[in-house]
Amino acid sequence: MRSVRGIRGAITVSENSKEAITEASTLLLREMIDKNDLNLDDICSIFFSLTQDLNQDFPASSARKIGLTDTPLLCMTEILVPGSLEKCLRILIHVNTDKTQKTMKHFYLGAAQKLRPDLG
């Protein structure tokens, strides 16, 4: 039975520049899509969040570049929590699939592995 499932991911960005944000979001998004063997037509929506020290580009532009032109996308900033990981970009993909939530592969790359060492 098909259900909507969530796939989480996070990556740290080298610097607050358009190029670095696009590179990091593309890398993470491709990893999440490829390693979960997702059909682009089954992706319902994608949420992108950035820490407040990343403001030079919308990471959703990377989704458009890989062909997700009709998928609803949303970019937002993270809550500023003292001591939180800096220059961090997070992605949440909602996908319509036959797979169980338990079989979804989540990705935390670079220093973002600290956020979920249990998934590293």
Specify the pLDDT at position 117.
80
pLDDT over 80 at 120, yes or no? no
3-state secondary structure of 56: coil
CATH class of residue range 3-114: alpha beta
Q: What are the angstrom distances between the C-alpha of 108 and each of 6, 25, 28, 42, 70?
A: 15, 12, 8, 22, 26
| Residues marked as catalytic | 8, 64, 75, 78, 90, 108, 116
| Cβ–Cβ < 8 Å for 110, 14 | no
Specify the pLDDT at position 118.
80
Specify the pLDDT at position 36.
97
pTM of structure: 0.93
Question: Taking the domains of the chain in order of start, what are their residue ranges?
Answer: 3-114
Residues 31-56 have a mean pLDDT of 97
pLDDT over 60 at 6, yes or no? yes
